[in-house]
Amino acid sequence: MSHVFPRHTKSALPTVSHGKGVYLYDKAGKQYFDGSGGAAVSCLGHGDPDVTAAIKEQLDTIAFAHTSFFTSDPAEQLADKLIAHAPEGIERVYFVSGGSEAMEAALKLARQYFVEIGQPQRRHVIARRQSYHGNTLGALATGGNAWRRAPFAPMLVDTTHIAPCFEYHGRHNDETPFDYGQRVANELETEILRLGDDSVIAFVAEPVVGATAGAVPPVEGYFKRVREICDQYGVLLILDEVMCGMGRTGTLFASEQDNVRPDIVAVAKGLGAGYQPIGAMLCSAQIYAAIENGSGFFQHGHTYVGHPVACAASLAVLTKLTDGGLAAGVSTLGDKLQTALEQEFGNHPHIGDIRGRGLFRGLEIVQDRETKKPFDPARALHKDLKKKTFEAGLVCYPMGGTIDGQNGDHILLAPPFIMTDAHIDEITSKLRIALDQVL
Ligand code: PMP
């Protein structure tokens, strides 16, 4: 009997044996194409010798020294490199162990910022219904996924949710994409005014939405309008790039493509590429200055903040993504993947939408393409899809969505950046096998 507490108590999982490049192998010898890196983690694939060497070297130097006593070379160098590529105005980095921790740090820093500058009445957070920001209690409260929240309600953080920017489901036929984006962005202003124009800490959003919807990019102009509203009411903009960041969409930060300047941005997953657990919360010079000139202390911390081995691994990853040019190749590969998916499934009676950016792609499964009506959620189609794609030797990320009550099943693809054109065929043909069996 296994003593590991599994995700699902009723399903037995194969034991992973090893990974090489874009493939994972289980102990029975079966090979899987890692088409989602878990959930957009393994951007460099498996067994990268440079990252492994960096980890070993760091372990031989110093594995751990608590950050209340020491800083470390890998943490300093990684922060320098991240800031060199970060959006304008972002100047400080706080390292944590994953995405939820990065979002907790973001939310707490945003709140502390307003306490430091003498606006303690600000306590509300606004997020979007189609979102996931992590599983710890603050991050969970911020996310809009009803199913994940339900067992833990009422929530600790005072969050309300506005409409997502989800063109496929939300745009009216007589509306241009731009007008649609302005309309849903303006919901932010309405909500700020409803809560009280000096009572909101932050608006939180994933630039390209991951797990809850399957790689949904915003329409043009949406984030520009969001930024304007945030500026008008002194609300901080927190971007959650835990899944879509670190080159996944073709630029190191996904928000670069929307020309939006965040006050705080959270990254994780691709930052460590799965070689070490690491996440980061990056903030603006202005926010940092408020802490520096105020209490001088961010009232937060975890034992493994700035862990030297995690930072060393991440530095090796980031070097490959930036200096090595890997992130730059993602757009080209991603466009080819999109074209191939459209060729293969564009006329499929149950694939309603194929979308995304870079190597972050989603396919939405619908019962009826005309009405975009999803399959009955009770059928839990995504579970069958997960099983069948896995059997076909493809690891991808099928999920049931919760989009304003319309439950769209979708498949999320987030393959490693080291894949080649040849793997595109492998993805589409394995997906085809699974889809034919399930639908
Ligand atoms: N934010 C987003 C956008 C995510 O996709 C995730 C993980 N799926 C998280 C936060 C939480 O990250 P972690 O699981 O590393 O805590």
Distance from Cα 377 to the centre of ligand 1, integer Å: 23
pLDDT at 149: 83
pLDDT at 153: 80
Q: Return the best residue to mutate from 135, 269, 271, 412 for the ligand 1 pocket (most ligand atoms within 8 A of CB).
A: 269
Q: Is the CB of 242 under 6 A from ligand 1?
A: yes
Q: What is the CATH number of domain 52-321?
A: 3.40.640.10
pLDDT one-digit tens code per residue, 349-359: 999 999 999 99
Q: What is the mean pLDDT of residues 154-161?
A: 85
pLDDT at 404: 61
The domain locations on the chain are 16-48+325-438, 52-321
pLDDT one-digit tens code per residue, 180-205: 999 999 999 999 999 999 999 999 99
% pLDDT > 90, the chain:
86
Q: Return the best residue to mutate from 206, 212, 239, 243 for the ligand 1 pocket (most ligand atoms within 8 A of CB).
A: 243
Q: Is the CB of 130 under 6 A from ligand 1?
A: no
Measured by CA distance, the residue closest to atom 13 of ligand 1 is 99
pLDDT at 22: 98
Mean per-residue pLDDT of the chain: 95
- Residue 406: pLDDT band with limits 50, 70, 90: low
Please check the confidence at residue 111 and state whether its pLDDT lies above 90.
yes
pLDDT at 344: 98
Q: What is the 3-state secondary structure of the chain?
A: CCCCCCCCCCCCCCCEEEEEECEEEECCCCEEEECCHHHHCCCCCECCHHHHHHHHHHHHHCCCCCCCCCCCHHHHHHHHHHHHHCCCCEEEEEEECCHHHHHHHHHHHHHHHHHHCCCCCCCEEEEECCCCCCCCHHHHHHCCCHHHHHHHCCCCCCEEEECCCCHHHHCCCCCCHHHHHHHHHHHHHHHHHHHCCCCEEEEEECCCECCCCCCECCCCCHHHHHHHHHHHHCCEEEEECCCCCCCCCCCCCHHHHHCCCCCEEEECHHHCCCCCCCEEEEEEHHHHHHHHHCCCCCCCCCCCCCCHHHHHHHHHHHHHHCCCCHHHHHHHHHHHHHHHHHHHHCCCCCEEEEEEECCEEEEEECCECCCCECCCHHHCHHHHHHHHHHHCCEECEEEECCECCECCEEEEECCCCCCCHHHHHHHHHHHHHHHHHHC
Q: Which amino acid makes up residue 173?
A: N
Q: How far apart are CA 142 and CA 205, in angstroms?
A: 10
pLDDT at 163: 95
Q: Is the CB of 133 under 6 A from ligand 1?
A: yes
pLDDT at 407: 60
Q: Which residue has the higher pLDDT, 8 or 423?
A: 423
pLDDT one-digit tens code per residue, 41-85: 999 999 999 999 999 999 999 999 999 999 999 999 999 999 999
Cβ atoms within 10 A of the Cβ of 167, count? 19
Residue matched to tokens 């599983």: 135
Q: Is the CB of 134 under 6 A from ligand 1?
A: yes
Q: Return the best residue to mutate from 131, 204, 242 for the ligand 1 pocket (most ligand atoms within 8 A of CB).
A: 242
Q: What is the mean pLDDT of residues 96-111?
A: 97
> In angstroms, what CA-CA distances link 209 with 44, 325, 361, 381?
21, 24, 10, 21
Average the pLDDT over each of 234-238, 369-373, 400-404, 427-431 and give the range with the smallest value: 400-404
Q: Is the CB of 98 under 6 A from ligand 1?
A: yes
State the pTM of this model. Answer: 0.97
Q: How far apart are CA 141 and CA 156, in angstroms?
A: 7
pLDDT at 403: 59
Q: Is the CB of 39 under 6 A from ligand 1?
A: yes
Measured by CA distance, the residue closest to atom 9 of ligand 1 is 134
- Residue 144: pLDDT band with limits 50, 70, 90: confident
**16-48+325-438 and 52-321 share one CATH topology?**
no
Please check the confidence at residue 394 and state whether its pLDDT lies above 90.
yes
Q: Is the CB of 211 under 6 A from ligand 1?
A: yes
Average the pLDDT over each of 47-61, 145-159, 264-278, 425-439 and give the range with the smallest value: 145-159
Angle between helices 421-438 and 381-391 (to 10 degrees): 130
Q: Which atom of ligand 1 is nearest to the CA of 100?
A: 16
Q: What is the CATH number of domain 16-48+325-438?
A: 3.90.1150.10
